[in-house]
Copies of this chain bind each other. A is one copy, B any other.
Amino acid sequence: MKKGKITIHDISKELGINSSTVSRALNNSSRVTQKTKDKILKKATELGYQRNSLASKLRTNKTNTIGVIVPRISRQFFSSVISGIEETAYDAGYEVIICQSLDNLEREQKLIETLLSNRVDGILISVSTQTLGKDDFNNCKQNETPIIFFDRPYNIEENTNVIIDDFKAGFEATEHLILNGCKNIVHFSGPQHSELYKRRKNGYLAALKKYNLTIDFNYIIASNLMKSDGIENAKKILDLSKVDAVFSANDVAAISAMIYLKDKGVKIPDEIAFVGFSNEQISAVIEPSLSTISQSDFKMGTVAATLLFKQIEQKTTIKEGYTKILEPKLIIRNSSQKIIL
């Protein structure tokens, strides 16, 4: 057995057939007769031939590979999006390279560089929370490598984005609480520079307005929505009087706040009702189970991937500022259903 990898030239030599014919046979070209194909394929398996994708990709200038960057693969939402992307890619004949930025900008930039130098045909990304600039992804554009942003919108005027209707989600979550008898609803918001959290907040405000509830800006608590922030927020709630509900812009903060409040003897949902955001796996398991917003994650993956493949294959210049907005879905569980007397 020859050491090292087998190439088409090895097959070529063994059979006395030119390597171009071997290549065509392996790619099932109509320019090679079935008889020759059979001979070549047999020899290929016999030698344990395995195409060198690097050479093929270099020559054809097409990798049939896309890169996906998310903050963390462990988060339920992202892994569902990735599943959606992978299914779509699988059907379209693309390979997928999954990367996590750990919400770190420097790392994210490095990943982009790596993906570009590996000549991916396109990139799907949910940007890190540190990504604030307007032209962090110029290297892609310079390269004419299509890039599509999902979940966390990025410079909507100039890029392709796939997001959910955060305003509507915020509105529906809040309205649901109001219809369940809540009147003094606190909102846990995220970093205020983020468009996404602004929209959720605006949805919240619009719902209060619709039902003529007083808007108290002390009731809007901004934070990074981490576990510890939830606890801090919960402490603040205990200082505010009359709070009877919380709409949190993510599940993590909602859950840690709930646990803290329960520990302090607060009855949930009867004294304080909760609605979260994201439909993390834990939200179904915690007690009481947390009502939340599902971001149609799998679908977001398929939609983003489909858009990307279209851009890659049409090779059209990317239409600036196209945004696809998906519908959110309110999932009603126990944390928001008060016993209305």
Contacts and interface: CB of A to CB of B under 8 A. Distances in A.
A169 to B, nearest CB: 22
A50 B139 contact: yes
B52 A54 contact: no
A136 interface: no
Contact of A76 (B74, B97, B139): B74
A217 to B, nearest CB: 32
A58 B59 CA distance: 11
Interface residues of A, number: 43
Most B CB within 10 A of own CB, among A5, A73, A259: A73
B63 A73 contact: no
A98 B98 contact: yes
A86 B100 CA distance: 10
A7 B139 CA distance: 15
Most B CB within 10 A of own CB, among A74, A282, A286: A74
Interface string A139-160: 1001110000000000000000
Contacts of A57: 54
B74 A63 contact: no
Interface string A119-134: 1000000000000000
B52 A55 contact: no
A72 B86 CA distance: 12
B282 A53 contact: no
A285 interface: yes
A81 to B, nearest CB: 11
Q: How many copies does the complex hold?
A: 2
Contacts of A95: 114
Contacts of A76: 74
Contacts of A50: 113, 116-117, 139, 143
Contacts of A275: none
Interface string A251-290: 0000100010000000000000000000001100111000
Contacts of A51: 117
Interface in A273-324: 281-282, 285-287
A132 B239 CA distance: 59
Interface string A100-117: 100000000000011011
A147 B132 CA distance: 40
A41 to B, nearest CB: 16
A334 interface: no
Nearest to A4: B144
Contact of A54 (B3, B63, B74, B259): B63
Nearest to A256: B285
A285 B260 CA distance: 12
B48 A58 contact: no
Interface of A: 3-5, 48, 50-55, 57-58, 63, 72-74, 76, 79-80, 82, 86, 95, 97-100, 113-114, 116-119, 139, 142-144, 255, 259, 281-282, 285-287
Given A52-B58, A73-B74, A286-B287, 8 more contacts: A3-B144, A53-B117, A54-B63, A54-B119, A73-B82, A73-B98, A97-B98, A287-B287
12 contacts: A4-B144, A50-B113, A52-B117, A73-B73, A74-B74, A74-B76, A74-B79, A95-B114, A97-B97, A98-B98, A282-B285, A286-B287
